Structure 1
Amino acid sequence: MLLRAAIAAVAVAAIGTVPAHAATGPAITVDKGRTQPVFSYADAIREHVYVESSVDSDSDGRLDRVRVDIIRPRESGPGLKVPTIIDESPYYDNSGRGNESERKVYDAAGEPVKFPLFYDNYFVPRGYAVLNVDMVGTTKSDGCPDVGGRADVLGGKAVIDWLNGRAPAFHDDGSPAVADWSTGKAGMIGKSYDGTLANAVAATGVEGLETIVPISAISSWYKYQRSNGVIYNFNYMSYLSRAVDTDPAAKCAAKRAQLDVDADDTTGNYNGFWAERDYVAGSLGDASKVHASVFVVHTVNDLNVKPDNFSVWWQALAERNVPRKIWVGQYQHVDPFDFEGRRDLWVDTLHRWFDYWLLGVNNGIMREPRADVQVGPADWVT
């Protein structure tokens, strides 16, 4: 028992955080600049809550509630608060996530039993909570998809606010849900639309979002759908809204029709609709508000989210001295988890990045080269 107490004390000192009360069982442990897998994944708490947002995107007279599926160490709570990694996505019940198109799986009581991708089974044993958030209008959240607009952005922001005690959340029975296990520090990560939501929420300047890892992500929906006014796809906004919404078509039909009107494909002009969906210099959020660190991953051959969506964002962050890091690959619309020969390096780099920004682990990652750039099939320079 004395040895366990001594190890716990050293671990806490190494990360610079002290829990309010001593927790029974393992504590967050750091060795060689990395948190260690000391918590049981099998015994982790799996639960869900509904966070109340500030928008009513389906005009039903009620504020949209955002479904948040949570997995966290069983020891987490008032006596052992943990940081949070969030993947907010519109894809959890349609196209799924990753190359295997993984979807969430629930038990008979509606609790999540399978989380897509690897973030949960890697980071929960190391002392993190992992949240899979259903974007407004998708899967088990209320509302209508807003394709980068207010509902999309403020729904995700509400989750950060809830983790910091600034927004309400509820259990299925209507009772209040309190994140008494949260340090308040959160990071957002995701590829494509998921990473776009991370960019968007960071651009609001919400307090408590300490870092984001946008992968192949949009920073301006106008740049995503226009090239100097030339339109890539007509009526794309309503198409994407429908693609991610598995509710009956009639529910959000009026919203989708309005998306196409406001997008103004007739002229291709940049207007207030696109300014709301511009996270570099927009009306809802912009780079000047970003105080989260940013770890960008993109590829120069991505013909879905084209490279100007990261380059303009990166330049705006650099002009404001936002702490940042970048990987630039030669692939197409590909997650770094699948970059040839770099999976282990990606997972370790991401691990150290989150440890540094969410737990204060002094592991030197910010003293390393800022950029990794692929110059050949197996050739990267830093």
Structure 2
Amino acid sequence: MFVARRHNDGRRRSVVAAEWLSVAIVATVSAALCLIAAPVASAAPVSATKEIAVGNALWHSERIPSTGGVTLYADVLRPRNLPAGARTPVIMAIGPYFNHYAAKGQQPVLRDSIGQGLVPAGRYDDLIDGARLLERGYTMVMVDLRGFGGSSGCPDASGPGEQSDVAAAVRWAASQSWSTGKVGLYGKSYDAVTALIGAGQQVRGLSAVVAQEPVYDWYRYLYGNGVPRVNRLGTPLSFIYQSSNPGFKPTPGMDPAAYADRTFANVVNPLCQGYSVLSQLNGQKSDAFWRARNLIPRLQGSRVPLFLSQGFIDQNTSADGLQQVLSGMRGPVHAWLGMWDHVRGNDTDMTAPLNSNTPKRLSTGRAGYLDEVGRFFDQYLMGKPPAVKDPAIVIQDNTGRWRAQPVWPQDIATRRVALRSGAYTFDGRQTATKIFYQGQYYGTQIDSVAPGGTNFQVAKTTDSASNAVWTVLPVEKSAVRISGTVEVSLTSRDPDSTPVAVDVYDVDETGMGTLITQNAARLTAGVTTLELFSTDWLVAQGHRIAVRVTDSNNGRWAYDHPTGRRVVVDGGTVVLPMAAADAGTPTSGGSNSNLEGYLGSYRYPVPKQS
């Protein structure tokens, strides 16, 4: 997914002007080329039709037919030394990120038709090696989505075309002569989205899904209830670059026609990338484009076994919709939920990468992820009873401690809080988190940038804590746990659909608050409702819970031009999902660098309640 660009000194670049310039360029190019009959991207790599030994695998490529005349390219890795005619279950990853070209200095296995050195995609070598998939008796298949890598067609941001690709790929894998008919999907980020697409479709043959840090609703990834995220344009543009394989610079000796076909077809076709980008700039949630990309309704009632991992403090793919997905599944659910950013379950601070001083430290704080994934696949693809009984759900809260539960959230009650009335000025300066350093406040929340390690990124801010409506609750007489999704209802007379941000804090005895959860929306005259990101947070005895209603969360969302007008909020309610402070059963695991960086920098000085 989109990663924020940074200065060498660690500060994030201002990209708003550049992004809108990019919009203009895309729109202009698309309009100018409307009469050009530009083909969609043709299949790029031409690789092995016979199996070639690569490590512990025998590698060959396949072409999988999908809808609309699209052909998908796939790398197939079969275990070596299988008996003739042996059939295996299949673990498949489907996405836009597979790179089939040898890196500089890497020895290619063979060459394609235009001279590029080819190797099997290495995106999930950690899974193949760490979970010992080939030794376990699985075939690994990595499939390019339409318009990416070696697949033809036009990308459509998890829409109907890519959804049909997932179904076609799973059916193909289940029907091969070397397959047992059992298929598991695996992925992280975009590849986790395609895994959830499969779970929602319940494609015949799909027997298990592992999804790490997915997006549950593409609209929520780019918008907070009508308010655009900073990545609202950066993400679509990054996928244009990703689909322009093999890059914008021709390789010496490359056939010009093949280069133009592979690189520019998706960029210049006005019905392809231009349409997709412009569609994603539409902030209306009810639009058919977004409805087709909301996976939550499709996952309701799914019986496909799911193993999900989600960071509550993921600054890229947030836990927005997490509780809805978990509560709607009807098949077996396993999950790792906790205080980390956009990482794989087996990542370390080196592989994340986090640039910390402890490169081998686990990025979640808990060991054994790939072992558990292997047991999960063995159970549902091979029918093997697990040798180790893994907890259904493991949760890490803000203390860094882990616990196990059969479901999440579990046995929650609700605390309904009346919000104070008040007003603030729409000046567009507010930040959700900031620290005081060398006589100046710096905002610390930067969209898509992980907290922790040396990823300490700041931007000067002139916001004012008083430019908000604060509701600060009484001191907690004992520890309390917020577990689930906070719901907010605001009453306003604002007729202009101005943005509003709602932040919930854990306030210590000194008045310093740590951000628990947040979201944004557009105010309407009357009642505005919104759900904040799911979380699991233990508020210590002696602390307070505070709720801030204000105009913006700069760094996380990109706002309209501030009007300077006074916005009146006539109160409202917050519903806090509360679980027992000692919920669950303690289990193995510890803290991590993301969490520690978050606790140190995602803070805000809360004003004393008058």
Which category describes the TM-score, using the shorter chain as reference length? Answer: 0.7 to 0.9
Match of 2:157 in 1: 147
Of 394, 402, 427, which aligns to 1:372? 394
Q: 1:301 to 1:289 in 2, by over 3 A?
A: same
- C-alpha contact 2:339 2:400 (8 A) present in aligned 1: no
Q: Does 1:302 align with 2:324?
A: no
* Deviations, residues 243-297 of structure 1 (Å, cap 9, x unaligned): 32124234343112212343352x533211011111112xxxx114633111110
- C-alpha contact 1:302 1:333 (8 A) present in aligned 2: yes
- The one-letter amino acid paired with 2:295 is Y
Q: Does 1:118 align with 2:141?
A: no
Determine the C-alpha separation between the residues in 1 that align with 2:56 and 2:100: 29
Q: What secondary structure is seen at the aligned counterpart in 1 of 2:62?
A: strand
- C-alpha contact 1:231 1:268 (8 A) present in aligned 2: no
Q: Does 1:207 align with 2:204?
A: yes
Q: Does 1:270 align with 2:280?
A: no
The structure with the largest strand share of the pair is 2
Of 153, 170, 179, which aligns to 1:182? 179
Determine the C-alpha separation between the residues in 2 that align with 1:129 and 1:190: 15
- C-alpha contact 2:337 2:396 (8 A) present in aligned 1: yes
Determine the C-alpha separation between the residues in 1 that align with 2:374 and 2:200: 24
Determine the C-alpha separation between the residues in 2 that align with 1:218 and 1:359: 28
Match of 2:19 in 1: none
Tell me by how many angstroms 1:52 deviates: 0.4
Tell me by how many angstroms 1:230 deviates: 1.4
- The one-letter amino acid paired with 2:264 is A
Match of 1:225 in 2: 222
Determine the C-alpha separation between the residues in 2 that align with 1:77 and 1:143: 37
Tell me by how many angstroms 1:311 deviates: 2.6
Q: 1:241 to 1:202 in 2, by over 3 A?
A: same
Q: 1:95 to 1:278 in 2, by over 3 A?
A: farther
Determine the C-alpha separation between the residues in 1 that align with 2:107 and 2:98: 10
Tell me by how many angstroms 1:225 deviates: 1.2
Runs of at least 5 residues in structure 1 that lack an aligned partner in the other structure = 1-39, 56-62, 166-178
Tell which deviates more after alignment, 241-250 or 327-336.
Answer: 241-250
The structure with the largest helix share of the pair is 1
Q: 1:115 to 1:105 in 2, by over 3 A?
A: farther
Q: 1:346 to 1:368 in 2, by over 3 A?
A: closer
Q: 1:47 to 1:373 in 2, by over 3 A?
A: same
- C-alpha contact 1:84 1:187 (8 A) present in aligned 2: yes
Once the two structures are superposed, the pairs formed by residues 336-347 of structure 1 within 5 Å of their partners are 336-338=345-347, 340-341=361-362, 344-347=367-370
Q: 1:81 to 1:136 in 2, by over 3 A?
A: same
- C-alpha contact 2:207 2:380 (8 A) present in aligned 1: yes
Q: 1:202 to 1:76 in 2, by over 3 A?
A: farther
Once the two structures are superposed, the pairs formed by residues 1-382 of structure 1 within 5 Å of their partners are 42=55, 44-55=57-68, 63-76=69-82, 79-93=85-99, 106-109=108-111, 112-113=119-120, 115-116=122-123, 117-121=125-129, 122-165=132-175, 179-232=176-229, 233-235=231-233, 238-246=236-244, 247-253=262-268, 254=270, 255-263=272-280, 265=282, 267-281=283-297, 286-288=298-300, 290-317=302-329, 321-338=330-347, 340-341=361-362, 344-363=367-386, 368-375=390-397, 379-382=401-404
Q: 1:198 to 1:114 in 2, by over 3 A?
A: closer
Determine the C-alpha separation between the residues in 1 that align with 2:100 and 2:73: 16
Q: TM-score, normalised by structure 1?
A: 0.73
Runs of at least 5 residues in structure 2 that lack an aligned partner in the other structure = 1-52, 113-117, 245-261, 349-360, 405-610
Tell me by how many angstroms 1:115 deviates: 2.8
* Deviations, residues 298-329 of structure 1 (Å, cap 9, x unaligned): 10100111111433221221xxx221111012
- C-alpha contact 1:217 1:309 (8 A) present in aligned 2: no
Tell me by how many angstroms 1:238 deviates: 3.7
Match of 1:25 in 2: none
Q: 1:248 to 1:271 in 2, by over 3 A?
A: same
Instruction: Give the fraction of aligned pairs with identical amino acids, expressed as a percent.
Output: 24
- C-alpha contact 1:199 1:214 (8 A) present in aligned 2: yes
Match of 1:36 in 2: none
Q: What secondary structure is seen at the aligned counterpart in 2 of 1:336?
A: coil
* Deviations, residues 322-360 of structure 1 (Å, cap 9, x unaligned): 211110121111111126456751121111101001100
- The one-letter amino acid paired with 1:332 is D
- C-alpha contact 2:58 2:78 (8 A) present in aligned 1: yes
- C-alpha contact 1:200 1:219 (8 A) present in aligned 2: no
* Deviations, residues 35-82 of structure 1 (Å, cap 9, x unaligned): xxxxx9845321110100013xxxxxxx11111101112344773210
Determine the C-alpha separation between the residues in 2 that align with 1:351 and 1:184: 18
Larger radius of gyration: 2
Q: What secondary structure is seen at the aligned counterpart in 2 of 1:338?
A: coil
- The one-letter amino acid paired with 1:259 is S
Tell which deviates more after alignment, 141-150 or 225-234.
Answer: 225-234
Determine the C-alpha separation between the residues in 1 that align with 2:153 and 2:188: 23
- The one-letter amino acid paired with 1:351 is G
Q: 1:346 to 1:86 in 2, by over 3 A?
A: same
Q: 1:234 to 1:219 in 2, by over 3 A?
A: closer
- The one-letter amino acid paired with 1:373 is I
Determine the C-alpha separation between the residues in 1 that align with 2:337 and 2:92: 23
Aligned length: 309
Tell me by how many angstroms 1:376 deviates: 5.1
Q: What secondary structure is seen at the aligned counterpart in 2 of 1:315?
A: helix
- C-alpha contact 2:199 2:302 (8 A) present in aligned 1: yes
- C-alpha contact 1:87 1:190 (8 A) present in aligned 2: yes
Q: 1:264 to 1:42 in 2, by over 3 A?
A: closer
Q: 1:76 to 1:278 in 2, by over 3 A?
A: farther
* Deviations, residues 193-227 of structure 1 (Å, cap 9, x unaligned): 11011111221121111111110001110111111
Determine the C-alpha separation between the residues in 2 that align with 1:193 and 1:205: 19
- C-alpha contact 2:219 2:285 (8 A) present in aligned 1: no
CA RMSD of aligned residues (A): 2.9
- C-alpha contact 1:210 1:291 (8 A) present in aligned 2: no
Determine the C-alpha separation between the residues in 2 that align with 1:94 and 1:45: 16
- C-alpha contact 1:106 1:114 (8 A) present in aligned 2: no
- The one-letter amino acid paired with 2:345 is P
